[in-house]
Amino acid sequence: MTMPIANAEVLVSNPGRNFVTLRITTDDGFVGLGDATLNGRELAVAAYLSEHLAPLLIGRDAHLIEDTWQYLYRGAYWRRGPVTMAAIAAVDTALWDIKAKVAGLPLYQLLGGRSRSGLLVYGHASGMDLHELYDSIREQLAEGYRAIRVQTGVPGLASVYGVASSANASVGDGGDRRYDYEPARRSAVPVEESWDTRAYLRHVPTVLEAVRNEFGPELPLLHDAHHRLTPIQAAKLGKAVEPYDLFWLEDVTPAENQAALRRVREHTTTPLAIGEVFNTIWDYRELFEEQLIDYVRSAVTHAGGITGLRRILDYAAIYQIKSGVHGPTDVSPVGLAAAIHLGIAIPNFGIQEYMRHSPATDELFRPGYTFADGMLTPGEAPGLGVDYDDAVGQAHPYQAAYLPVNRLLDGTVHDW
Ligand code: GCO
Ligand code: MG
């Protein structure tokens, strides 16, 4: 029984931030969605999909998920890279969505069924100073989060990754405070921020110590260094924060150089998470085989879809490495739903990032997953459980946006 694909549409919309969504429709009317959002580079993936992949999909059998993955990956000749892998991810996710709808089952059932009752998630707290940070942590706890990422301002720096300033804080429709933590600004050129690693390294351990003392030993705390450190600086930070028992320290170095993590690992027992900018299993090979990390940060959206990420996580499992799937607001509800279905099924689930989309984004995608008591659950609708509302999408057209560029105080371009 084949199920030919009739249509593959690339939908680009901006309900407050840009999202690229692939919608595949079969001849007999089944519809699947895939997320292809690459923050700040959205139209590159949209063009890859509409110009190069969509024409290949028409008439193909929607049931052939693995074959299509291999056909698009090997068939391109040019391998890997965030644009290619986000495009393949969108096709793969949409095909899984369709297969589950045909089966009449929520997608996680096709991935092996439930391995747990829900996904523990972490929320996001930040403050320019301790007072703001404590308030933000209390808000997160009040919303039910049971694990919290802590990001802090650094004295002398006007703005820092992950810290909401009053300039980019906004009030959500429900009256609650919402922050956009990866401020891809709607502007013609990127905003520039400045950075001082020594000031950061002096300050962060004092903040984590204060937070640990204020909130007690139980609360899982996470921190993201956002690729800014050298291996030896990262080792120093990991060692300095050991007494505060972090759940993980994320992206300590720009991890193109996997071997850099050896240096970090030999100096600290602080758990390490990495990989939100990776896109294939090859990016993890040394990290896994030498057991240099503890958590995999890739998103379904950026690592070749459910097929790509599941393969990475199976490989991780043999080294006791767990999932910590990327879930910022630039992963759309389609990408997040895919992560939730995968996360509830896999044996080596660790934690799921959850930043909460704006009400406008949820109106566009109408996700069926639910957040309660610090846990996400996928819902029981067939497929991914996400719909795309064309009228809402058309009302919010694409707007050019860039992530910030980071410079050291002397003007040198640094990792953001
Ligand atoms: C995280 C990430 C994000 C990224 C963003 C870039 O840990 O969630 O670091 O905040 O900065 O996804 O687009
Ligand atoms: Mg991160």
In this structure, which ligand is nearest to the CA of 352?
1
The CB of 149 under 6 Å from ligand 1? The reply is no
Smallest CA separation from ligand 1 atom 6, residue: 182
Query: Is the Cβ atom of 181 under 6 angstroms away from ligand 1?
Result: yes
Cα(330)–Cα(336) distance, integer angstroms: 10
Q: Whose CA is nearest to atom 2 of ligand 1?
A: 328
Q: What is the distance in A from the centroid of ligand 2 to the CA of 381?
A: 30
pLDDT confidence of residue 179: 52
pLDDT of residue 176: 39
User: CA nearest 301: which of 282, 281, 272, 327?
Assistant: 327
Which residue is catalytic, options 122, 161, 181, 388? 161
Query: Given this model, what pLDDT does residue 353 score?
Result: 98
Average pLDDT over residues 353-368: 96
Positive or negative, the Cα torsion across 229, 235, 236, 241? positive
Ligand of minimum distance to the alpha carbon of 182: 1
User: What number does the ligand 1 atom closest to the CA of 327 have?
Assistant: 8
Q: How many Å separate Cα 222 from the centre of its chain?
A: 15
Cβ(415) – ligand 1 distance below 6 Å? no
Alpha-helical (H) ranges within 216-356 are 231-240, 260-265, 285-289, 305-317, 333-345
The predicted structure's pLDDT at residue 159: 87
For the stretch 376-414, pLDDT in tens is 999 999 999 999 999 999 999 999 999 999 999 999 999
Q: Could you tell me where in the chain the CATH 3.30.390.10 domains are found? A: 5-106
User: Which member of 226, 302, 357, 414 is catalytic?
Assistant: 226
Catalytic residue check, 161: yes
Q: What is the CA radius of gyration of the chain?
A: 21
- Out of 149, 191, 224, 323, mutate this one to test ligand 1's pocket (max ligand atoms within 8 Å of CB): namely 224
State the residue for tokens 């080596």.
348
Ligand 1 atom nearest to 124, measured from its CA: 8
- The answer to whether 298 and 267 are in contact (CB under 8 A) is no
Q: How far is the CA of 249 from the centre of ligand 2 (A)?
A: 10
Residue range 119-383 in CATH 3.40.50.1460: no
Tens digits of residue pLDDT in 139-185: 999 999 999 999 999 999 998 999 986 544 443 333 334 455 555 67
Active site residue 181: no
Which residues have C-beta within 8 Å of that of residue 341, sequence separation ≥ 6? 106, 107, 108, 111, 306, 378, 384
DSSP state of 399: -
Task: Tell whether ligand 1 has an atom less than 6 A from the beta carbon of residue 276.
Answer: yes
Segment 202-217, tens digit of pLDDT:
999 999 999 999 999 9
Q: Are 15 and 396 in contact (CB under 8 A)?
A: yes
**CATH number of the domain at 5-106, please?**
3.30.390.10
Task: Indicate if ligand 1 lies below 6 Å from the C-beta of 39.
Answer: yes
Q: Ligand 1: which atom is nearest the Cα of residue 40?
A: 13
For the chain, residues classed under CATH 3.20.20.120 are: 119-383
Q: Is the CB of 99 under 6 A from ligand 1?
A: no
In this predicted structure, what is the pLDDT of residue 182?
53
